[in-house]
Chain A
Amino acid sequence: MVDNELKIELGKQGILVTTIEELYNWGRRSSVWPMQFGLACCAIEMIATTMARYDLARFGAEVFRPSPRQADLMIVSGTVTKKMAPQVVRLYNQMAEPKYVIAMGACAISGGPFKQGYNVLKGIDRYIPVDVHIPGCPPRPEALIQAFMTLQKKIDGQPLTGEGRPRFLDADAQCEFPVPEQGAHDLEPPSNQGVWPVEIQGVGSRERRDIDGRQVSTDH
């Protein structure tokens, strides 16, 4: 392994030293294509982010793909209702790995201002794992850009082997998540315990899984 300072020094001399991992992640992070998928008000700010003033293209993410098969990133931009939630999970399942999720806005995180609604899902992370949350109602375009950079940092930091490697390099990792059913009164189940391990105070701790679906220690 070349030490970092030496690498920078060599770079100044015009010599490029890199690792497969760096090169690979550099490629992945520089062309994250989001899915063209807007849910509510936040989607308008998402569109504004791609327009001339904020210009998301600077981050290699201007190509919004209408098809989930061609997208790497799902920006859940807006309120997920219970009528829509199964479709969101289905779309997520249809995306090819590697795939990432940004929950944009208060609604996608927790239901936001509409939390008390009977038809509002109280946070998309009840059904699918989320990589970056952006608070705000709606988050400003700058906040979305910040989330994007956070995601790029995360991609940059993923090792290709060993612990913490991305899901698509891990044969055991779960890539598809169960789609909830629309029942007579509510979604069934109301949350996917695999990704939404709710701690209930006073009740013994339960099995927890981390974002990639692996089991983590259960005592707290």
Chain B
Amino acid sequence: MSKISLTIDDQIVQVEEGTTILEAAREVGIEIPTLCYHPDLSLHGACRVCVVEDLEKNILVASCVTPAVDGMRISTRSARARRARRRNVILLLANHPNDCLGCDRNGTCELQKIAYSLGIRREDVDLLAGERRNLPLDDIGPALKRDPNKCILCGRCVRLCEEIQGVSALQFSNRGFDSIVSTAFGLPQSEINCANCGQCATICPVGAITEVSEINKVWDALEDDSKHVVVQTAPAIQATIGEEFGLEPGTVVTGKLVAALRKLGFDRVFSTEFTADLTIMEEGHEFLERLQENKNLPQITSCCPGWVKYAEHNYPDLLDHVSSAKSPQQMFSALAKTYYAEKEGLDPEKIFTVSIMPCTAKKFEKEREELRDSGYKDTDAVLTTRELARMIKEVGLDFVNLEDEEYDELMGKSTGAATIFGTTGGVAEAAVRTVKEKLTGEPLERLNLGFRGVNETKVEIGDRVVNIAIANGLKNAAKLLDEVRAGKSKYDFIEIMACPHGCVGGGGQPLPMSKEKKDKRAQGLANIDKNKYIRKSHENPMIIKLYEDYLGEPLSEKSHKLLHTSYKKRAKN
């Protein structure tokens, strides 16, 4: 590729041929606002917020889709470019509800930010006010809600769901003024092939797709003296929630998280990592059995409910490959209302289980009818990282300066193996650690599987070579699954996470997100694992105690009842 040279705002810029004007500008630190553009997605060129002036040709062009050409002279800040950009943003606002105050994205909305930086005032918008959409919301949940009136038709969710998840649950429909992004027949997102991963919510620049909030439900439970409210925090939260309070991505704030939850009034603060260890025990032993019998291999992980729902729609023929182990969230809740209730002498009916999750798919998962093995609805409420941060802000806790506290005993102790559940590759690594030691007595070195896309590795366990693959992003997963379907997969164990980067990039995590941020979050989790004294799930003393006192052994009858589940075929469309 040859280099070309152009001038942007009087700066000479040299870039590879094929670079867009926007990319060229960013290379030299010139910021051009964008809305429909996203670095992880194909180009769209719809919003025209990124317009710049081509001073040679005397025209305005959308910088995100226009290739830089040798000798070009571009102004990003000419009066004409600024006027056009401003006008385009005002036009978007003219058909947008005036609802920043009540919007979940207040403060993280890209449209709000651009409008502010361009100095747009309400009067400017009112001058251009015309007919406004008044479309029904899709808010029946349980995971996501969509407000099409806020949608600016940037198409980022559409492209993401197609290009990264391979689901295409959302599409543009109708035309002209009536254009909207919708599901087929405008069906609720919960009734279609959507995986509930919430990636669309993380990429939406505005508040058109957000999680269904359960904050009020949790406040009610906390204020109800007859309820014993038990909370679990997923592994990925400790390395991400700090961002909501201005800390660097990847800053580990486990102790402050625990302290904050106690201050909010939770009766017991436990960690989902405890049951992540348990998942590894159960799933590891399941894998051991399958290896020995050479049956239903590759075994595919089941801890990600986004992936599980996708499998039910798209690969129902492979459901036997999916581990029957419940996700750590559901194992935890089932035990909270049985094992924990028994140990503490509590009436399980009075126990209210809350989980803090990086994930919107977990909100859907908790509503599954089959997940009532405790005799009650196992999980009562799921809060995303963002929702918990809002509760903490609501009561004005100075999060960053909280004294570190420890998780409660019994279901709070975890190992490094459990921590890395939050990144991709973590589950596979944790399970293999335990299996290898069980079979050979030898410890497993770090696998160091990468965080992005598809990765593979092999591990020698005794005289057998075990081939492992991990995939994150459902479209990546589909490649591996098509091989399994065709009988051509060389793998014995496949870990799948719906969200790119795994749960550190989950649909409920702090916004905005970027690849770089997610890398840092994953690194944060990897560091905790490294520093933990116990790194193998089967050495967790509280897990040993749980088996001794209650479950018997992995895959026992009781384990099966409380910790395993089954899946059902769902229509592809």
Chain A complexes with chain B:
no
Residues on A close to B: CB < 8 A?
none
Residues on B close to A: CB < 8 A?
none
